[in-house]
Amino acid sequence: MVRVVKSTIMEAPVERVWEVLRDFNGHDEWHPAVADSAIDRGQPSDKVGCVRRFHLSDGSELREQLLTLSDADMAFSYCLLETPIPLLNYVAHVRLAPVTDGDMTFWLWESRFDTPEGREAELGQMVAENIYQGGFDAIRSHLELEGA
């Protein structure tokens, strides 16, 4: 089992970052890897259990299900249902916390998953850098923040 943990500090109040991240269907507006996204059966994107169907820029289609959403903890978790990339039993957690000293945001993004044998490092690196670190950088420019 591979475990990926990435975290960063965003130079913005936590409410502002959470407003963007809590929309489970909003990632096509900011994540460079996501071309388009829609929630299955027209459900609201904050309905726990809803499924987002999205395409990467290379055309591959993925489906992910929202497992947890908490406005109280500013956290959500989700799993992969269908993917052409061999990430198996993939469950990810996102959590924000206020940095009270400076009115900034701590953002943690972590996951666990299995891969075909021998591809642990390659796929772990891909998730950590392309998806999570790439997502941090994208939100930073989406919110027009300076690099921290």
Contact footprint for other proteins (CB under 8 A): 5-9, 97-102, 104, 106, 108, 133, 136, 148
Residue 129 main-chain phi, psi, to 5 deg: -90, -55
Q: Give me the least distance between CB of 128 and other proteins, in Å please.
A: 8
Closest CA to 55 of 68, 38, 72, 42: 38
Instruction: Return the number of the residue (11 or 28) whose C-beta is nearest other proteins.
Output: 11
Which residues does residue 97 pair with via DSSP β-bridges, in sequence order? 106
Q: Give me the least distance between CB of 91 and other proteins, in Å please.
A: 19
Q: Give me the least distance between CB of 14 and other proteins, in Å please.
A: 10
Instruction: Return the number of the residue (5 or 121) whose C-beta is nearest other proteins.
Output: 5
Q: Give me the least distance between CB of 53 and other proteins, in Å please.
A: 30
The residue type found at 72 is A
Instruction: Return the number of the residue (1 or 100) whose C-beta is nearest other proteins.
Output: 100
DSSP string, 118-147: T-HHHHHHHIIIIIIIHHHHHHHHHTTPPP
Tokens 């945001």, located at residue: 105
Could you give the C-alpha distances from 131 to 56, 72, 128, 135, in angstroms and in order? 11, 25, 6, 6
Instruction: Return the number of the residue (9 or 48) whose C-beta is nearest other proteins.
Output: 9
| Whole-number Å distance between alpha carbons of 130 and 107 | 16
Q: Give me the least distance between CB of 52 and other proteins, in Å please.
A: 25
Instruction: Return the number of the residue (5 or 48) whose C-beta is nearest other proteins.
Output: 5
